[in-house]
Structure 1
C-alpha cells in the first residue's frame, strides 16, 4: 500500500513564482515594508495565505537582530491595577504592530533577572518593566549596556536617569487626607506602610505633609505596616480595631488593601461610612463595586500603560533622546465608604 509524501511547506520562492514578483519583493512585503505598492503587497499576502505560508519570525529576528516583540515585566498580577495597566500598554503597542511578551515576577528579584535575560535572548525591541521591591539600580546600567530601550513604571529606580511613568503619589494621598479632614476627621490612620518601597514612602510623606498643613497629629500607632494585598488590609484593619484609642478614618495604601479592610469590618458587623471612614487609592474598576462603594483616588492604570508604551515607542525611534519622566495627576472619586460627616462615636 503506497502513501503520498507529505506536501512540503511553502517558501518565499513559491510565493514569488505564483505572484509574479521577485523574491526580494516578497521579503519586503512580509516585513511590512512601505516600499512596495499596496496593490502588489495585497496580492503577495493573498498568495502567501493561499499557499499556507507561515512567516518564520524567529529566523527573521536573528537576521535583523531585533523583533516586533515588546517585553512587559509586571511585579504583581494579583493586583488588578497592574492588569489594567497591561491592558492599556498592550492596546497602544498593537496600534504600532508590536506584540507583547508578558512575564509576572511576583516580587521575586531573581525571577525578574531571569525573565529579562530570556526576553533579551528573544531579541525584544523594547521593555516595559514594573520593578520588584528590591530591584537594584544596576538593572538600568545592564539594560543600557545591552542597548535595549526600556521604560520603568510606578516604581522609580535610583542611579542613572531613564524613562519613567508613574503617578503623583503625594498628591493622591493628600487629596484623600484633605477630603477626610473636610468631613471633620482629625484622627486618621493609614494601612499599608511598606518600608523601603518608594511608592509607599511617597504616599506616607504626602499623608504627613497634609496632616501637618492642617495642624493635625501624625500618630505612628495608627500607621500599620501590612502586606500589599487583601489579606494585608484585613489584618491591618483588625489591628486598628483592637486599639483602645482608634482613628475615626483610615486611608489605605491602595484599593486592594481597602477591599480587605472592608471585609474585616463586615465580618465584625461594622460598616464603612457609618462606623468608620475608609478610603483607598489606585482607582481600579473593582473599587466601584465594593460594599459600600469605595472612595478612592484614580491613578488611571490603563492610561499609565498607554503612556508607558508611547514613551517606549518614542525611545525606540530616538534612542539617544533625553530621558523623560511622566507623573499622572490623580483624581479624587468620592463614594459611600467615607460617609458624609465625621463618625460621631468611634467603634
Structure 2
C-alpha cells in the first residue's frame, strides 16, 4: 500500500528541516519568505495537504479566534468584521464568526460554541442589553477575550472602541456652529452604552453652548435604515423636527433622510443631519452624509494586538483603548463640498 505524503517528505523535497516546514504551515512569521515559498512549492508538487486537526492534538493552540457581532442589520459591522479578519490573517489566525442578532441568550450560546471549537480567544461586540454577568460568564470559561465598541455595564480592562463621548461632542459642536437652535439625538437601542456615551457627549456640548436638546425627537430604535425611517415618520406625525439631528448611526440617518424627503423637508437647510460610523455608502447618498467616522481599522488593529497579548500571557495590566473619531463633513449638515 502506498503511504501518504508526510510533512517530512515535504521538508526533504524543499531541502529544509521538518521543524521549518511545520512553522510554515502554522503561519509562523519567523520563517523567511524564501523558505516559505520553497515549502509551499514542495507541498504542491507532492500533493501534500496539511492536517490541522492532527496539529491541534499536538499543540494547545488552534490558531482560531471567535468573532461575535450583532450581525448584518447594521452595515457598520460588515466593514468592522472585515477589518478584524484582515488583522487576524496578518497574525496567522483564522476567524470563526457568530452573529447574535442582539440576543443575549444566543450570545451566551455562541460563546460556549467557541469553547467547543477550542478557539484561542474571542473578539466580542456585546448584544444589546448584555447583563453585567456576561463578563463573569466569559471569565469562568477562561477564554481570553476583548470587548469591542460596546462596553459592558460592569466595565472591562480588555476593551477597545471609539471615544463615543468625544464623537457626540464633535457632532453637536458642528451643528451648533451651523446655528442650530435645537438638536435631537435620534435612534439606537437605549440599552447599549454606545448610545449613552454618544448622546451624553452631545448633550454636554449643547448645554455648554446654550442650545436646546429636543427630547421629543430623541427616540430609540434598532440600528437599521428601516427602523430610522419608521421612527422619523411617526415623530413627524406628532411634531415638526428640530433644525439639527444627530443620528445614532449612518444606517438610521439614511432612513430618517428618506422620511424627510417624502415629507418635503429639505435635508441640509430645513433640517441639518449628522450620522455616525462613516459607512462606505455614506458619501454617495443624496444628500451625502456628514458623519462621525469610527476608525474601524485602528480599532481592529488595537483589538487584535490586545487579544494576542492576552493569549501569550503578556496582557496583564492592560488598559482600555479609546480611538479618537473624526468628523467627516459633507452635505447633509448644510455644508457644500467640492
**TM superposition score normalised by structure 1:** 0.86
Please say if 1:240 is aligned against 2:235. yes
The structure number with the bigger radius of gyration is 1
- Output one character per residue of 1:230-262: Cα deviation in whole Å (capped at 9) or x when no partner: 012112222332234531221111111001111
In the alignment, the residues of structure 1 paired with residue 195 and residue 286 of structure 2 have an alpha-carbon distance, to the nearest angstrom, of: 25
Q: Is the 8 A contact 2:225 2:255 kept in 1?
A: yes
Do residues 249 (structure 1) and 266 (structure 2) align? no
Once the two structures are overlaid, the 10-residue window that deviates more, 218-227 or 181-190, is 218-227
Q: Which residue of 2 aligns with 1:150?
A: 145
Question: Residues 21-60 of structure 1, C-alpha deviation per residue, up to 9 Å, x if partnerless?
Answer: 7766755554456898988776554433222121111221
Q: How many residues align?
A: 336
Match of 1:55 in 2: 50
Q: Name 2:255's counterpart in structure 1.
A: 260
1:287 to 282, 290, 294: 282
What is residue 82 of structure 1 aligned with on the other side?
Answer: 77
TM-aligned CA distance change 1:177 to 1:320, over 3 Å: closer
SS across alignment from 1:312: helix
State yes or no: 1:186 paired with 2:181: yes
* Candidates 322, 325, 335, aligned match of 1:327: 322
Give 2:67's aligned residue. Answer: 72
Match of 2:127 in 1: 132
Are the structure 2 counterparts of residues 114 and 59 from structure 1 closer, same or farther at C-alpha, using a change threshold of 3 Å?
Answer: farther
Per-residue deviation at 1:289?
A: 0.9
Find the aligned partners of 1:208 and 1:35 in 2 and give their Cα distance: 51
Distance verdict in 2 for CA 1:85–1:236, change over 3 Å: same
Find 2:211's aligned residue among 212, 216, 220: 216
Q: 1:91 aligns with which of 69, 86, 92?
A: 86
- The equivalent residue for 2:115 is 120
SS at match of 1:157: coil
- TM-score when normalising by structure 2: 0.88
- The verdict on how the C-alpha distance between 1:256 and 1:36 changes in structure 2, with shifts beyond 3 A counting, is closer
Cα distance change on mapping 1:319 and 1:118 into 2, 3 Å:
farther
Q: Distance in 2 between matches of 1:133 and 1:300?
A: 21
**Is the partner of 1:118 in helix, strand or coil?**
helix
Equivalent residues of 2:185, 2:217 under 8 A apart? yes
When residues 9 and 314 of structure 1 are mapped into structure 2, their CA distance, relative to the original with a 3 A threshold, is same
Evaluate the alpha carbon distance shift between residue 32 and residue 94 of structure 1 in structure 2; reply closer, same or farther with a 3 A threshold: closer
Gaps of 5+ in 2: none
- In structure 2, the partner of 1:344 is none
Q: Which 5+ residue runs of structure 1 have no aligned equivalent?
A: 342-347
Q: CA, structure 1 residues 322+107, in 2 after alignment: closer, same or farther (shift >3 Å)?
A: same
1:296 pairs with 278, 291, 299, which one?
291
SS in 2 for 1:233: helix
Does the aligned pair in 2 maintain the 1:61–1:123 contact within 8 Å?
no
- The range that moved more, 46-55 or 195-204, is 46-55
Higher mean C-alpha deviation, range 240-249 or range 102-111:
240-249
Aligned counterparts of 2:238 and 2:35: Cα–Cα separation in 1 = 75
- Secondary structure, in 3 states, of the residue corresponding to 2:184? strand
2:267 is paired with a residue whose SS is coil
